[in-house]
Structure 1
Amino acid sequence: MTFRILIALVGLGMAFSLPAKAGIQNPIVEGDELSADIELTPGLKAELVLRFEKSVGLSVDNLGLSASTIDITDLDILQRLPDPTAINLLSSFPVRVTVAPPADGGFAFEGVAEVELYTRNLQYTAATPFRIFAASPGEDFRDITASVSGGSYRTRGSTGNFSDFLIVADTRLLPDAINAKFDHLEASLNQFATEMDSVLFNELDVALQASRSAWAGGDAATALDYLQSFEALVEAASGTGLPNVWRSARDLDNVAGVLRAEAQTLRFSLTQAINFS
């Protein structure tokens, strides 16, 4: 049975409420979107939205969704940050959102998943250093931010797999954050080289290296243009030349989703470099 047939069977477009899990209140599924309130104490609240391009079996249980408070001095978290001296956990929002689908839950999605958090515990300004970071079990946290906005604070990140999510204060210099994102995207492309044909790999590598060279030469706008060419190549090959499905059995690499998500957060940072130059 194909992924698309499975989607038809779950009846997209229907909205229904789901039982609450730890820290998660009022969860509602509508089509390929799950929204919920996070309430850990009377003064520690947020709104969570998870969006999928296409999904099967979307529910709180099948996502393994929960929220918890963290100790901002927890070395297990701090040691997994890219630069613990410049990236700080927030006493005003010490919250970890966990998405850990059980292997036998039957959940799957295609493409990119979006994670959006909105909280009144944080205040947004143009120079706000708050970012959404993610980490799979045992791996280091990294910035996945694709947008920020507010009155209060709203952030959105994208991912091709599942993780723990935190909002942190990232005070690294923007060029350092951009270089780290280039490093990570290059590493992912090389990791997945055997899951695509050599022609596509070379096209993606050329576009990515051109973007990085332009950035290194001080031309963020041209770097962004080449990065968008990279994204277009990935999207065009998604599902044909590139695997693009993640499922709870964890037996597939969502190559297109991972590359798109990492390119999106790099695009966010390059756009910042252009806007604030």
Structure 2
Amino acid sequence: MLDKRTKWLLLLSLMLGMAMAPVACVLAGTGCTITTAIEDGRKFKADICVPNPGGGADYEMSFDLEFDVDPDDPGSLQNLTVPCVGFSVDVLDAGEIANIDSRLPDPANQAIDPALPLRVTIEPPVGCGLAFKDDYDAEFDATNLTWVAQSPYRLMKAPIGGSFVDITAEVLPGSVRSRGCSGTFSEFVMVVDSVQDYANEAIAAYADLGLALNDNALGPTARSTLKSDHGVSQAAFVAGNYAEAIARLDDLKAHCGVLGGPALPNAWRSARDLVNLEGELVSKTGHVRFLLGRLNGDP
């Protein structure tokens, strides 16, 4: 079993590895390896195999973070190296699973799947200088799991020890690939949602997005533009025109990309002194879009 000391040694070995070359951590006494690398200068990738403490099949998955890179802005992504990502993964014990389940949006109906009791943590070291603009795409690709249409798996993210939010933007075949985006970091887990009430979830997700559009950091022109997109999309949703609602959310996302900057703060750095509102708005928009897609017949 991976105890706390083993988890720390795993994290330490990853941080001491070469910055750009693949870093492999072989877990002592097992046939498992965790390999991390930076690909194409914009993607962090971890191929994960950790032993099952109960003696069953190993837990296998990959975890990716892919950042937006603006070719006209050399500073849009800085210091993306394996050590600067601050990656770790652990197998959750019963107490940790109970803790995470209690922090999910719907603890009565959402839970860690015993087939994949893994938590990925991304905590970039403050002094490393990782910085990016806009948002990143995060993906769990769970080899242990089997995809079915209307898959109940969801990708959740939380600040360390905080409440999880559903950032699912897609659930794709290929084992099970759950994908979302964000502008901040910390804990990531994949969970099972046993009661998928897309309509009521969409109502709540629209409300959450609308609340975020009231953030004082948002400039008045940007707020007016994005609130208009939100309102038109929500009206189409209420009318049952899901395709139109999705199209207007695409407008909102595109406008976030254009407005990012002083009117819509869009930067994050490891000093944690900036608020990446653009990344969070895009994340919330992507999740509403996922729910509307399911209502519109997406698998």
TM-score (norm 2): 0.81
Aligned to 1:103: 126
Aligned to 1:64: 86
What aligned pairs does 1:41-80 form with structure 2 within 5 A after superposition?
A: 41=51, 43-54=58-69, 55-71=77-93, 74-80=97-103
Q: Unmatched 5+ residue regions in structure 2?
A: 1-18, 52-56, 70-76
Aligned to 1:8: none
User: CA distance change for structure 1 residues 274 and 156 in 2, over 3 Å: closer, same or farther?
Assistant: same
Aligned to 2:5: none
Distance 1:142 1:172 in 2: 15
Distance 2:152 2:185 in 1: 24
Bigger drift between 177-186 and 108-117 goes to: 177-186
Contact 1:144 1:159 in 2 (8 A): yes
Distance 2:287 2:33 in 1: 26
184, 199, 209: which is aligned to 1:161?
A: 184
User: CA distance change for structure 1 residues 159 and 256 in 2, over 3 Å: closer, same or farther?
Assistant: same
Contact 1:119 1:154 in 2 (8 A): yes
Aligned to 1:252: 274
244, 257, 264: which is aligned to 1:235?
A: 257
Distance 1:37 1:151 in 2: 15
Distance 2:83 2:174 in 1: 32
User: CA distance change for structure 1 residues 130 and 255 in 2, over 3 Å: closer, same or farther?
Assistant: same
Paired AA for residue 128 in structure 2 = G
Distance 2:240 2:138 in 1: 31
What aligned pairs does 1:55-204 form with structure 2 within 5 A after superposition?
A: 55-71=77-93, 74-170=97-193, 171-191=195-215, 194-204=216-226
Bigger drift between 74-83 and 102-111 goes to: 74-83
Contact 1:123 1:153 in 2 (8 A): yes
Deviations along 1:149-197, one digit per CA (max 9) or x if unpaired, are 2241112111111021111111331112222321221222212xx2232
CA-CA distance at 1:137 after TM superposition:
2.3
CA-CA distance at 1:218 after TM superposition:
2.4
Distance 1:248 1:24 in 2: 28
Paired AA for residue 157 in structure 1 = G
Paired AA for residue 128 in structure 1 = S
Distance 1:20 1:186 in 2: 43
TM-score (norm 1): 0.87
Instruction: Indicate the SS of the match to 1:190.
Output: coil
Contact 1:78 1:84 in 2 (8 A): yes
Deviations along 1:63-96, one digit per CA (max 9) or x if unpaired, are 2100011135643212211111111210000010
Q: Unmatched 5+ residue regions in structure 1?
A: 1-13
- Percent of matched pairs sharing the same residue: 31
Aligned to 2:21: 16
Contact 1:238 1:244 in 2 (8 A): yes
Aligned to 1:10: none
Deviations along 1:85-138, one digit per CA (max 9) or x if unpaired, are 111210000010001112222111111111112122110011220111111124
Distance 1:166 1:121 in 2: 14
Distance 1:186 1:196 in 2: 12
Distance 1:217 1:60 in 2: 47
Superposition RMSD in Å: 2.3
Paired AA for residue 213 in structure 2 = L
Distance 1:241 1:201 in 2: 9
User: CA distance change for structure 1 residues 104 and 84 in 2, over 3 Å: closer, same or farther?
Assistant: same
CA-CA distance at 1:148 after TM superposition:
1.7
Distance 1:143 1:102 in 2: 25
Distance 1:133 1:75 in 2: 15
Aligned to 2:16: none
Distance 1:225 1:143 in 2: 21
Instruction: Indicate the SS of the match to 1:49.
Output: strand
